Structure 1
């Protein structure tokens, strides 16, 4: 699956597609409806176009981390949904300054050569968010391509949205996020060498910095983890937070994989948050903390077994 990092200079076979256009952070039910519309218009062959970095990251660089997926996971999800190509439209000062008509002319027509575009009902584009979905339809008629506007998709009585997924994760409701995503939310990254406190306490952990990924609610989770090079997911328990008992530091996802031993530092790890068990606590002693860790592990095993 080719991923193109620009809309200019594309090879002929990457132009002329029916294109699903959006941020696609999380690739939830609403996004899948936009993708389905592009697929239908393209008679089964379609591409997906998104923005990299997301406009929010460009305009509000000081915001807390908010990505639901890293770009690689997002692109893999778009490919799994059937996209023949993924266009990562570079969102920079040049694109931010384009008018709505300029965006359509330069990016969609001259660049991608689109035959059809599908977008969500709340899609905005162009300088200062001046363009909206109906304006895109009007411009499509003028430039000779079709436009499908996809209405809201509900999930559990509310509009399926990346915002709702973020809110669920920050509220300690990974099960609700999973229902909207269609699968458990997954944090991923390179396993780092930490302070080795877990190993000394009998609970060795694989540690991940989440970076630009959204930070879920601090606390302890039942999780499943998959180590780079392995096909199967392993059960475990994880803490995301600042470890107030052993010394505050930047938030870290520390995953204890059940019944596993081995040196996996430097390897890629995926961690699915399955259920939130409890908030992060400061204990009066290491003994009290270890006792609670055993309880957490037992609770996680029961949940994951069920």
Structure 2
């Protein structure tokens, strides 16, 4: 898959089959759209193009964007789209100026002049242009003038897409990992650098990797204890993760700490990826380190049962 970070980097294609959207998380709903895109591309002998935007449009135009949390970073999105067999990914820098393009300018300047779109795969509720003025009806009315072939994604598919996007975020924020993973079509993950914490876990026999996620907009699931897998130096290892404020040891700030089973290497400064498998229990305060150690032992047993089934 070829990736382009600016409109000027892209040369018009002879037979471009295009779809566009934010594709946050590239979940099952998105995967259905991309499947239709790739099938249409194969049938026409063309090349598939996904047009997406960065930053997320809401980060630029919405007043409530401060609390916006996304399912995927831009790097994660690129990797996930590549797995779907897309030929070209055009990432448009989303600015207020870009948001002011009229629907006519968007179609003519971006879809036609920049990409060379011959066929557009689009849902009935897709909106574009200034104040989201353009949509399927506009494209359908002007398709002949633009020389565009349209393929509409069925309403049922789009309705499912909207529902799953909402449910995934709500599920993760409520610790409902299995439900989120089912809608994503894969386990939810996040990556970060292992940094030094207070190292209290070592004193009770459970050394943890404190994972610092660089992207503040990346959605971290609800506080609690989880069964996870951790990708460390190219190998997936079983683990138990605590997300939260560590109330037993008067922790300050929210952390993501992973106890990797049967692993004792020094990985400070290294990047690891955490894959959430299931929720074990809520975070709570214990009466001292001995009680905490006893509970972690139980959590480890529960996690092993989950991870080995």
If the length of structure 2 is used for normalisation, what is the TM-score?
A: 0.90
Aligned in 2, Cα 1:8/1:154: closer, same or farther, shift over 3 Å?
closer
Residues 101, 139 of structure 1: 8 Å contact kept: no
Aligned in 2, Cα 1:123/1:192: closer, same or farther, shift over 3 Å?
farther
Cα distance in 1 for partners of 2:193, 2:118 equals: 40
**SS of match in other structure, 1:24:** coil
Match of 1:54 in 2: 56
| 1:129-140 aligned within 5 A | 129-140=132-143
**1:187-219 per-position Cα deviation (integer Å, ceiling 9, x unaligned):** 112222222222233211122233221121110
Cα distance in 1 for partners of 2:150, 2:193 equals: 41
Between 209-218 and 265-274, the greater mean CA deviation after superposition:
209-218
Shift of 1:52: 0.6
Match of 1:39 in 2: 38
Aligned in 2, Cα 1:5/1:154: closer, same or farther, shift over 3 Å?
closer
Q: Residue 264 of structure 1: which of 240, 246, 267 is its match?
A: 267
Match of 1:273 in 2: 276
Match of 2:3 in 1: 3
Residues 178, 185 of structure 1: 8 Å contact kept: yes
Aligned residue pairs, count: 302
Match of 1:125 in 2: 128
Cα distance in 1 for partners of 2:19, 2:252 equals: 41
| Higher-helix-fraction structure | 2
Does 2:85 align with 1:86?
A: no
Shift of 1:132: 2.4
Residues 38, 116 of structure 1: 8 Å contact kept: no
Shift of 1:160: 5.0
| 1:148-163 aligned within 5 A | 148-151=151-154, 152-153=156-157, 161-163=164-166
**SS of match in other structure, 2:196:** coil
Shift of 1:16: 4.5
Residues 172, 180 of structure 2: 8 Å contact kept: yes
